[in-house]
């Protein structure tokens, strides 16, 4: 298992103004981007059940106590479970907010109008597929961010999940996603694993080929619409 020290980066779509966009239509109190360099790392190899503890420091400087302290903590955690850890944290959500519901950014009428607009764009040949999204918000009061993430991971396990705590920006991120946007490795290889534009695998090789042809047909229609400049 190769373990590398790396930067962790969070960026919002709003950062597009740094790439040529004149303005942002939407505003947020959260920073457009945050990053930090992980010089202390605990890496877990889930296939071999190995745990690696690494610390990076400059030659000639005093070694930090991270390695020894972390080793002691890991040994003390042996035999414990995520459930026990969650029980020791603060309540995930403040009891006064437990019955609160999510509030959508758009009304039902606005959302239906957006759907109709998308259908019109597709009918007019402007696109063959549109991804319409919106936001739902909920106040959670005095919540423990890490406890919230562990609760999310238990209820919605996903291959691409993360908890990031940017304490200087007073920002915590809890992420759980079935798809990966981008991955850039040390050799400069950029990999994307989206779900949109894909299709589930078939149960047989023959069904796989049939589904592959369906995807190619959808893509061909998209190219024809673009090249013919349908108006």
Q: Model confidence over 157-184: pLDDT tens digits?
A: 888 888 988 888 888 888 888 888 888 8
Rg of the chain over all Cα atoms, to the nearest angstrom: 23
Interior/surface letters 136-152, b for 16+ CB within 10 angstroms, e for the rest: eeeeeeebbbbbbbbbb
What per-residue confidence (pLDDT) applies to 109?
95
Classify residue 217 by burial, with Cβ atoms within 10 Å: 0-12, 13-18, 19+.
exposed
Is the model's pTM score more than 0.95?
Answer: no
Nearest to 35 by CA among 7, 56, 14: 7
What per-residue confidence (pLDDT) applies to 226?
47
Output the tens digit of pLDDT for each of the chain's 231 residues: 677 777 888 888 778 878 877 777 777 778 888 888 888 899 888 888 888 998 888 887 777 788 889 988 888 877 565 555 545 544 555 555 556 688 998 999 999 999 999 999 988 988 877 888 888 888 877 778 888 898 888 888 888 888 988 888 888 888 888 888 888 888 889 988 877 767 788 899 999 899 888 877 765 554 444 444 444
Q: Which helix (H) or strand (E) holds 193?
A: strand 190-193
Are residues 6 and 38 in contact, defined by beta-carbon separation less than 8 angstroms? yes
What per-residue confidence (pLDDT) applies to 84?
54
What per-residue confidence (pLDDT) applies to 95?
53
What per-residue confidence (pLDDT) applies to 94?
58
């Amino acid at each position: 298992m190769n373990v590398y020290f790396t930067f962790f980066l969070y960026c919002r779509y709003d950062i597009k103004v740094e790439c040529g966009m004149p303005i942002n239509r939407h505003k947020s109190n959260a920073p457009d981007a945050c990053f930090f360099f992980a010089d202390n790392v605990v890496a877990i190899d889930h296939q071999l059940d190995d745990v690696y503890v690494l610390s990076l420091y400059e030659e000639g400087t005093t070694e930090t106590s991270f390695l020894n302290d972390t080793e002691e903590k890991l040994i003390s955690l042996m035999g414990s479970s995520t459930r026990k850890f969650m029980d020791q944290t603060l309540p995930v959500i403040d009891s006064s907010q437990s019955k609160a519901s999510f509030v959508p950014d758009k009304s039902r009428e606005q959302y239906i109008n957006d759907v109709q607009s998308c259908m019109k764009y597709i009918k007019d040949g402007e696109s063959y597929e549109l991804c319409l999204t919106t936001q739902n918000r909920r106040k959670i009061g005095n919540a423990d961010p890490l406890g919230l993430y562990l609760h999310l991971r238990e209820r919605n396990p996903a291959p691409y999940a993360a908890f990031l705590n940017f304490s200087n920006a007073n920002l915590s991120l809890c992420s759980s996603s079935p798809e990966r946007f981008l991955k850039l490795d040390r050799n400069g290889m950029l990999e994307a694993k989206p779900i949109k534009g894909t299709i589930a695998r078939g149960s047989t090789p023959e069904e796989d080929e049939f589904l592959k042809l369906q995807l190619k047909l959808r893509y061909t229609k998209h190219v024809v619409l673009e090249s013919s400049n349908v108006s």
